[in-house]
A and B are shown apart, each in its own frame.
Chain A
Amino acid sequence: MDLKLTEEEQLIRNTAAQFVDKELISREGDYLRQDTRFLPPGAPVRRRLQPAVSAELAERARQAGLWSLEIPEKLGGSPLSVVARVLVHREFGRAILPFRPVSIPAFLFDTPHGEKLATGELSLALAFEEAHKTGELSATQILYRQEPDGTTLRDSSIFVSNSAANLFLFPAREQGSDRLGLFLIERDAPGVTIADEVDLTTDATVARLILQQCKVPNDRLLGYEYEAGEIIAAEQLNMAARSLGIAMRCLASAIEHARNRVTFGRRLAERQAIQWMLADLSVDIRTCTWLTLEAASRADQELTYFDEAALAKKRATKMAFEAADSAIQIHGGYGVCKEFPFEGFYREARLMRLLYGRENELDRAAGEKFLKQ
C-alpha cells in the first residue's frame, strides 16, 4: 500500500486547488453579494453566473487543463486517471461558484461529435432520470426498436438538468429484450422537444426531454449496459469528490468561526456541543475520503468498482449535507444568509443525495445482493 499522492497526482491536485482559490473563491464575494438593498417579494431568485464570467472561467480552466478531464490526447487533451479526477473535483467542491470541469464519457470522443465536444462547441447533458432513484437502470422507461432503416424510440418524457445542452445522452431498453442501449441525440433532431424548464432549489434548473415519434439513425446507439454503468459510477465518484470539497470547506470555516466567536464568556471552540459536531464530521470526512479514493483506485486498476463508487457517493453526499448543516448551525444567523456559502452547499448537497441512487435504495440494493449470496 502507498496512500501518498504520486508526483503527478500532487501536481494536478495543486493545479486544481490554485485554480479554485484564485479564480473561483476569489469571485465568491461578487457572486454572493445581494445587489439590491431590499428584496422583491417571493422566494429568493435563482443565482446565475454572468455568461461573460462563465466564458472567461471556461477559457482559463482550459488553459490550466481543467475544463474537461476526459478529452483524449488525439483531440488535444490529457485524460486523467480516475484518482486524479477525484482529486480535481474535490477541489472544485470547495467553491460555491457554479463552475466545474465538464464531464464527458470518454467513448463519446470516438463519435462524429467528439471533436466539437472536446472544443466546447457542443455541450452534453446526461438524461439518466431512472438511475436517480436506485443508482441503476432496471426501471428505464424509454424503449427502442432497431430496424434496418433506423431506430424507433417510444414516445416518452424524462427529466433532464442542464437542459440548455446541444446533445443528450440517455439509456433506453430494447423492446422485447432486456438489452440496454445508450443513445446520443441532438437537441434539434426530429421528434425531440425540451420543455417545462423550472428552477430547482439549488440554483440549477430541470426540464423535460420529450420524445414524440422520434426515429434516429442506427449509429446513434453508442453503448450498452456496461457503458451506462460506467457513466453512473463516474457521476457517483464526481459527486463523492465534490462532497469532500464541500465538507472540507465547511469544516475549515466552522473551526475558524468557533475559534473566534464568544458566547457567555467562552469561545465556541471550548464548548463540547460544538467540539463533538466537528469531531464527528471529521470522522466522516476521513472515512469518505478514503472510500472515494479507494473506489477510484479500483477503477484505475480495472477491478470492479461500481458498488464501491455507489457506497462512496451515498456516504459522501450525506456527509456534505451534514457538514453544511453543522456549518450553518455553528455560524448561527450568518449560516442561513445567502451571502455566506453554507446555505448554498446545504441545498446542493440535498440534491446530490437524490441523484444516482437515493440512500435507502442503494442500501436496499446492497442488502439484497448480500442476501442472495
Chain B
Amino acid sequence: MTATLEWQLATVTAIRDETPRVKTFTLSLPAELPHLAGQHYDLRLTAADGYQAQRSYSIASDPTLAGQIELTIERLADGEVSAFMHDVVVPGDRVEVRGPIGGYLVWNADGGGPILLIAGGSGIVPLMAMARHRASTGSHVQATLLYSSRSREDIIYFDELQRLHSGDALGVFHTLTRSQPPGWTGYSRRIDGAMLEEVLAKSDPAAAIFICGPTPLVEGAAEGLVGVGLAPGRIRTERFGSTGS
C-alpha cells in the first residue's frame, strides 16, 4: 500500500477571517503529497513538556495549488486545538501536519462526473475543495450546492460562492436556519424533503452526492434522499459531532 504518512513541519503563511468563528490558515508544506478534493490532514500541537494534541481538518483549497494547503477551521467553544489555532497562532508560526488522509468523500474533476453537494456549517470545507477544483480545472460537469448555515454572517465563503455561481455555473442554494437578513431570498428553514426535491430537480439526475456537516443534518439529508428513492450507494457522507438526541 502507500508509504508511511510522515509528520512534517508546515509554516502558517496567512490567516484569513471567514466568519466570526471561522478562519482559514494557509500552510506552506516542505513536502506536499498529491491529494484529492475532500481529503484531510491531521494537525498536531506539542507542548514544551511533550504533551500532544491532534485533530483532523479538511483541506479547503484546490488540489492543483502547489506547495501549500488551506485548512478552514471553526473555533469550537471547548476546542483544545481549534481555540489555539484561532487565538494564538500568527503567520510565521509552524505546526506539524501529516496527510493527505481519507479516500472516500473525494471527487476528481477528471472523470468525476456531476455532483450534488450538501453542507451544514463548517461541513462546507471539503465540498468547497471540490467546487474550487471544478472551477480551476475548467470542468463543465453539472454541480449544485445546498448549504445550510445558521445566519448570514455564519456563511463561510459567501462571496466566493457567488462568484462560482456567476462565473462557473455552480448551482448555489443557501438556507439560513436561525435568522435571516432583510430581503433574504434563500431558504429559511432546516433542510427537509421538499427542499431536497427542489434542489434535486435542478441537479444532474446522475450526480454523485456528497453530504458533510453536523450529524443531525447529515442523517436528515441522507435519509431524505433515500426516502425519495435515491440509491444509498450514490450518497457519501462525513459527519461530525454526536446525534444531539
A is bound by B: no
**Which B residues are within 8 Å of any A CB, using their own CB?**
none
